[in-house]
Amino acid sequence: MTFVPLHSRAATYAVGVFVLPPLATLPLHDHRGMTVVSRVLLGCAEVASTDWVDVDRHIASAITTEMVHPPACHVVLPDHKNIHKIVAGAQGCTFLEVLIPAYDDDAHRCTYFKVVS
């Protein structure tokens, strides 16, 4: 898996390209307090998304899954589809990603999760 940063403006936005080999997985993660627009450029990806029902008790809603093909975009909002996992298709997947605001060490960071029943 490769990430190529293209441009960023501190605390405002960041733009980059992800290149995922066939069937590679970006594990379940979030973009706390951020909006993320991902546009598939090549290949396809399965995106499984969920939202918090109760953050304090770490209870999320049922996971929904969608296949994203070029030129479609997948949009993550602070309160919609913010927790998600991405699995590249059989031919791999390349997507352009815009993060608003850019990551920082405080409120805007990425957290990885493990699903438990």
What is the per-residue pLDDT across 13-25, written as a single tens digit (0 to 9) for each?
999 999 999 999 9
What would the two tokens of residue 4 be?
Answer: 């190529």
For residue 22, is the peptide bond before it cis, meaning its omega torsion is within 30 degrees of 0?
no
CB atoms within 10 A of CB 47: 20
Q: Which domain holds residue 98?
A: 2-105
CATH number of the domain to which 72 belongs: 2.60.120.10
Q: Is residue 111 part of a domain?
A: no
Virtual torsion, Cα 19, 21, 22, 25, nearest 10 deg: -80
Tokens of 108: 């805007």
**Residue 63: per-residue pLDDT:** 87
In a domain, 6, yes or no: yes
The β-bridge partners of 64 are 49
- 113: in domain: no
Total domain count, the chain? 1
Q: Is residue 95 part of a domain?
A: yes
CB 43 within 8 A of CB 17: no
Please indicate, yes or no, if residue 115 is contained in any of the structural domains.
Answer: no
Per-residue pLDDT band for 111 (boundaries 50, 70, 90) equals confident
d(CA 88, CA 45): 4
87 — pLDDT class (breaks 50, 70, 90)? very high
Interacting residues of 103 by C-beta distance below 8 A, sequence separation 6+: 14, 34, 109, 110
User: pTM higher than 0.85, yes or no?
Assistant: yes
